Structure 1
Amino acid sequence: MSSAGPSGCATLPGDPPGGRRAVAVWGVGVAVYFVAIIFRTSLGVAGLDAAERFGIGASALSTFSILQLLVYAGMQIPVGLMVDRLGTRTVLALGAALFTAGQAGFALSHSYAAALACRALLGLGDAMTFISVLRLGARWFPARTGPLIAQVAALIGMGGNLVSTVVLARLLHDAGWTATFGGSAAAGLLVLLLALLFLQDHPDGHAPAPGPRPGKGFVRQQVVRAWREPGTRLGLWAHFTTQFPVLVFLLLWGMPFLVEAQGLSLDTAGTLLTLVVLVSMVVGLVYGQIVARHHAARLPLVLGTLTATALLWAAVLVWPGHAPLWLLVTLCVVLGACGPSSMVGFDFARPANPPERQGTASGIVNMGGFVATITTLLAVGLLLDATGDNYRLAFASVFVLQAVGLSQILRLRGRASQRERERVVASRVETVHVPVNQGDLTA
């Protein structure tokens, strides 16, 4: 008989058992995501080099990341639907092929237009990875471990960011543009091969129940039903509010801000970017454990991270002259908590939607942070050009989006909590009438 696990989600009969086989298969999916993150964040350490290579200013430079993330965000709902219908193996393999082609093309690009097209292709492939990995974890591990598995996946992804800030930055300095980006594309070919050879959508004997055959209006119904759940919308706004400060910092504007506005050396700035990634990896484990054991901690973690981020950004921006190193270090530590906090958004949407809608709901949530990131990247670039590189004014745009997200979180939190309680109660009532058969006992 099923019961409600620590995460507050009902553990269904036939819950996947996990184990070594699950870790191995899930590990292949996470490896694809790991490489996607390397490629996604590789421009973050090459922003100044890209500006010189293509002869562009701040607005044009920000367009690289904006276009890449615009494609990523725009594909989240279509990818969620693809995962729900086609399975993770197919979508992950397609994603790996696309982002590898984009990275290889970016290495060979000499014109701004060609480089833009390659970043868009990279964003298209990248868009297919994380939602697929979330679904893979849900199919191979028990539901009670969902929050921790999701945070560990994000943690490993941040390891890809670490490769960008440490390894690619050094290679770019020593080997040059083409060798660095072209050589890294080989990692994409490797994970594509692994995905084709070893990925499996679900354990043997744990195939999901067949859903209704898609008919007229199926896509619209999937999206509408997921959106109607307050938990889905709360997850989107939690993701929106907490993820974008760290992405803006790591993907593009952190290095120029630390070097040009704060007067740090390239090595010191690179160390601070690395610190953000390392803190994120540690905090991800902590947040995953907390949410798995204490379901009510989700909202306090989101609001606490949001508040700390706003306060530290304000302190750095209002400090006269260059901010002291200890304050910049503190800012980077707090930014490191933003990624794990944004992952909590998926833990609002997960219990709000049935299994056949998890991919679609995850896609909606995942749009939040990337829409905010695109908006801020564009705002910072435009404001830098308009104000003569006034980073204080440009980065003040962060507070506008934080205020918008916070207002929506506060508006939705009560409805989402009530709806989640109703679903848990209904799930417990249903399981009373579920007979325990040999398959259940084996599972």
Structure 2
Amino acid sequence: MNTSTTNPKKSALVVFTTGAFFFYSFIQMTLFSTEAMKEFFMQILNLNSTAEFGNFAGTYLYGTVLLLLPIGVVLDKISVKKIVVGMIAVVVLCVLSLSFTTNLYVAMILRFIMGIAHCVAFMAPFRLAPRWYPSKQLALVAGLLVTFGVFGGWVSGAPMLACLTAFGGQSTMLLNAGLGVIILILAIIFIQDFPSKEDTSEEITNDTGLIEGLKLAAKNKQNWLAGLFIGLLNLSVLLLGAVWGTTYLKIVNPEFSEATFTGIIGMIFIGTMIGSPICGWISDKIRSRKKAMIGGAVLSLVIILLIIFPPSTSSGFFYVLFLFLGIITAAQSIGYPVIAESNEDKILGTANGLSSVILMGIGAIGQPLFGQLVAMFGGDSSASAIQMQKAFQTAIWLMPIAFVASILCAILLRETFQTDSK
């Protein structure tokens, strides 16, 4: 971590301009969150079923999962600015091409490339933040970066729908590309690898070998524990927020309308946006990563138990519960400064890549596992309403188990808060 004096405004410009790529990439990842955008692409690509569309949309995550670790290694070897600027340009070109292509296979390749670029967008801000901010501010900065990224998911919803309604699909995609061009210009102007030329020379002489870097990252148990902690708390978003939440709520209260289901689940994302900087601020304020992480995991367990055993099934009560679930599970963002404070700068990208693979791996296992548990406990297509309810209420225990495991990870972590100053 850099300990030289830096201008706070310059630090913010550098790190959050890099975060703007995270925001932009998050828009592309959640591009199909509206039915209107799904219909536009199903029409121009001549897709006839949701299964075909799912295969097309899923190529984005394939690129992300497969390249997380290699991209992390690359970020240790090459200028972060050069990689970010190059990848923003690639994403803009992909968005432009996606606006005009009618070939499904070309579109899938473009989405795959954009998924690879998301690895850079996801890791680069957390790669630069420890160079520009002291430990006492790092958790707050990490929380704000997560909020910035999740905000992109919101933009792909209502604002994107408004543009689709007013201008149509192709014009909306061109506006999408135009936003990328603006972020590209800002990145060229403001992003800088290190606060000083002396530190830049350190990066140039980084001769840590690939295998050596991987060994150093893998031998550090902090990377595994922090990655597990982030991934286990993130299950609230990946299970309830992304896939199974509306189905579970429909079973809890069949009188809820579809708009109510959607609104309640959306509170997880709003809560994450609110909670990420708050959790980071608390960690910095109490001068402890470990205590804040344990507290967040324990409170997350309490909230999920209230969701499983609700004293009320009113929509207002669930709106509040899911909002607090998002706010409190946002304590996962504290895991990023733990990784930054537990590794030398020369292997930090590799360490972030390793932890990200763990994070994404938990989600990749958790989503299908939940569905398999529902089927295992009697919730198949022939199940009655009562059988389905019992199956879901049994499978949902995957969440409390995950939160208990996150508490254990936080307990086993070594405290990393540092008292350095800039």
Using structure 2 for the length normalisation, give the TM-score: 0.80
Q: Could you say which residue in structure 2 is the equivalent of 1:31?
A: 20
Q: Is the 8 A contact 2:127 2:348 kept in 1?
A: yes
- Return the offset for 1:248: 4.8
Deviation at 1:135, TM superposition (A): 1.9
Q: Deviations over 1:348-393 (max 9, x none)?
A: 3223212222221122222233222333445578889973899865
* Counterpart residue number, 1:202: 194
Aligned 8 A contact 1:30 1:156 in 2? yes
Q: How far apart in 1 are the matches of 2:171 and 2:247?
A: 23
* Structure 2 gap segments, 5+ residues each: none
Q: Distance in 2 between matches of 1:70 and 1:163?
A: 23
1:227-238 pair list within 5 angstroms: 227-238=218-229
The offset of 1:147, in angstroms, is 0.9
Distance 2:403 2:308 in 1: 17
Alpha-carbon offset, residue 287 of structure 1: 0.3
How many Å separate the matches in 1 of 2:249 and 2:171? 26
Aligned pair in 2 of structure 1 residues 244, 171: CA closer, same or farther (>3 Å)? farther
For 1:134 and 1:195, the matched residues in 2 are separated by: 16
CA offsets 1:210-233 (integer angstroms, 9 cap, x no match):
266537xx1121112112111111
Q: What is the match of residue 363 of structure 2?
A: 373
Task: Note if contact 2:232-2:406 (Cα within 8 Å) is conserved in structure 1.
Answer: no
Equivalent residue, structure 2, for 1:437: none
Give the distance between the partners of 1:200 and 1:262, measured in 2 at CA: 53
Q: Evaluate the alpha carbon distance shift between residue 405 and residue 82 of structure 1 in structure 2; reply closer, same or farther with a 3 A threshold.
A: farther
Tell me if the contact between 1:313 and 1:331 (Cα under 8 Å) persists in the aligned partners: yes
SS in 2 for 1:42: coil
Cα 1:401–1:340 change in 2 (3 A) is closer
For residues 208 and 176 of structure 1, do their structure 2 counterparts lie closer, same or farther at Cα, with a shift above 3 Å needed?
A: same
- What's the TM-score once normalised by structure 1's chain length? 0.76
Match of 1:221 in 2: 212
Distance 1:28 1:171 in 2: 24
After superposition, the Cα gap between the structure-2 partners of 1:246 and 1:109, relative to the gap in structure 1 and judged at 3 Å, is: farther
Residues 1:311 and 2:287 aligned together:
no
User: Percent of aligned pairs with the same residue?
Assistant: 16
Distance 2:139 2:149 in 1: 15
Matched length = 406
Instruction: Provide the rounded CA distance (Å) in 1 between the counterparts of 2:243 and 2:35.
Output: 8
Q: Which amino acid aligns with 1:19?
A: P
Distance 1:249 1:181 in 2: 29
Contact 2:300 2:325 in 1 (8 A): no
Task: Confirm whether residue 333 of structure 1 aligns to residue 323 of structure 2.
Answer: yes
Alpha-carbon distance in 1 for matches of 2:143, 2:95: 26
| Within-5 A mapping of 1:214-363 | 214=207, 218-251=209-242, 268=260, 271-272=263-264, 274-294=266-286, 295=288, 296-308=290-302, 310-311=304-305, 314-315=308-309, 324-337=314-327, 340-363=330-353
Q: Distance in 1 between matches of 2:393 and 2:100?
A: 32
Segments of 5+ residues of structure 1 without an aligned counterpart are 1-10, 432-439
Q: How many Å apart are 1:331 and its aligned residue?
A: 4.3
Q: State the Cα deviation string for residues 45-87 of structure 1 (Å, max 9, x = none).
A: 3499359653223x55554554322321332222221221112
Q: 2:48 aligns with which of 55, 63, 68?
A: 55
